[in-house]
Amino acid sequence: MTQHALSFPAVALATSLFPDPETCWHAVQRRDRGYNGRFWFSVRTTGVYCLPSCAARPPLRRNVDFHASPEAAEAAGFRACKRCKPRDWQAGVGLSRPVARACALFDAGDADAPPSLTEVARKVGLSSGALGKRFLAELGVAPRDWLVARKRERFRSALRGGASVADAIYGAGYGSPSRVYENSDKALGMTPATYAKGGAGAHIDYTTVDSDYGRVLVAATEKGIAAVFLGDDDRALEKDLKRDFPAAEIQRNDDVLGPRVRGVLSRLYGRKPSALDAPDVPLDILGTAFQWKVWKALTEIPAGETRTYGEIARRIGEPKSARAVGRACATNQAAVVIPCHRAVGSSGALTGYRWGVARKERLLAEERRRSSR
C-alpha cells in the first residue's frame, strides 16, 4: 500500500432513492451529472424528457416534472431528448451506455494487445475524444489509466486465485516481470511474491479507542496510517478491517500506535487541521490520482463548513465529475484524517456516510460549534 497507487475504479453503483422535487430541481439547474440515473425530468413546453445533466437551455420550473425512470416519463407522454439521450444512461451500473459498453469491450480484448481507444470509440458510436471525456466525467480517470488499473486488477486476481507469479504477470498483459517489480508498490502494496502468499510479510497493526463519537479503530503499516474507522462495536470494526485487507497480517498492538492515535484524535476534536502530508498522520492508503485530488480538496474545506460533490468537482478542475467525487468520498478509508464528512449532496443534504449519517451530522455540528467560539 502506497500513496497514489492506482486502484481499479469500480463500475457498479447502487442507485439511490428518488429525490424530493426541490433536490431534483436544484440538480437540473446545476446540470448535476451525479444525479443521472436517480431521476429524469420532462419539459411540458417541448414534450421531451432529459437527464439532469442535459446541456440544453434550462427550462422554467413551472414547466418541469420529475420521473423515476425513462418508462415513467414516456408513459406520461414525453419523448427522449436527442441531445442527452436519456435512455442511454444505465442506472444499474451508474454509467452511460457507451461507457459501460466501452468498459466491456476493453475487458473482452486480448490482455496483451487491448483494442485501441479509436476502435472502441467507433464501436460505441463516439469519437475517441468524446469517449475520453465521458470516461473522465463518469469514472474520474482517462481510458488509458482505466486500462492500467484493470491490468493491475487482473494481476491481483490471478495471484489471489493461486497462479504463479510468472503466469500472473504474463496473463495480466505485462510484457516483462521487470515492469511489475519496478511498480509493485503501486500494483500491490508489496512485492508480487509476498502478495501471492496471501500477504505474508505485509503487516498491519491496529488498536481501538473510545471517543465522543463512538469507538475509533486506527490501523497502520510501518509507512503510515492504513485505516481509520468509526463505529460502535470493536468486533464489527475489526471485521471491517480484515475484510478490507484480506491479504495482510493483522495484529492488535495498542502500544506502538500511540502517536498515530493521538494524531487522529487531534483531528477528531479539531485540535489540528486536516492535511494529507502531516507528519503525525502519514498515510499509506491506495487511491487513484483522481481520488487523491478529491481527498486533498476535502482537507482544504474549513472545519464546520461543507461543499457539494459538484463544488468539489469544480474545485479540482473536473466540473462534470460530481458522481466520481461521490465515489471518491465513499472509498475514503481514513475517517476524519480525510474529512469526507464535509461533502454533501447538491441540495446540502447529508448524504450517505460509511460510518453513519447521524455521526456525520454530529461531527459537523461540533466543528461548527468550535469554529464559532
Cell of 185: 508498490
CA 159 to chain centre: 25
- How are beta strands 203-211 and 214-220 bridged, if at all? antiparallel
Active site residue: 24, 50, 81, 103, which one? 50
Residue 103 annotated to the active site: no
The DSSP line for 164-226 is: -HHHHHHHTT-S-HHHHHHTHHHHTSS-HHHHHTTSTT-EEEEEEEEETTEEEEEEE-SSSEE
Active site residue: 81, 84, 329, 340, which one? 340
Other beta carbons within 10 angstroms of residue 104's beta carbon come to: 13
Angle between helices 143-160 and 97-108 (to 10 degrees): 50
**Angle at the Cα of 296 from the Cα atoms of 373 and 29, rounded to 5 degrees:** 85
Which helix (H) or strand (E) segment holds residue 370: the answer is: helix 357-371
Which helix (H) or strand (E) segment holds residue 266: the answer is: helix 258-268
Report the C-alpha gap between 220 and 282 in whole angstroms: 9
Residue 54 annotated to the active site: no
Which helix (H) or strand (E) segment holds residue 227: the answer is: strand 225-231
Q: Are 264 and 217 in contact (CB under 8 A)?
A: no
Catalytic positions: 50, 340
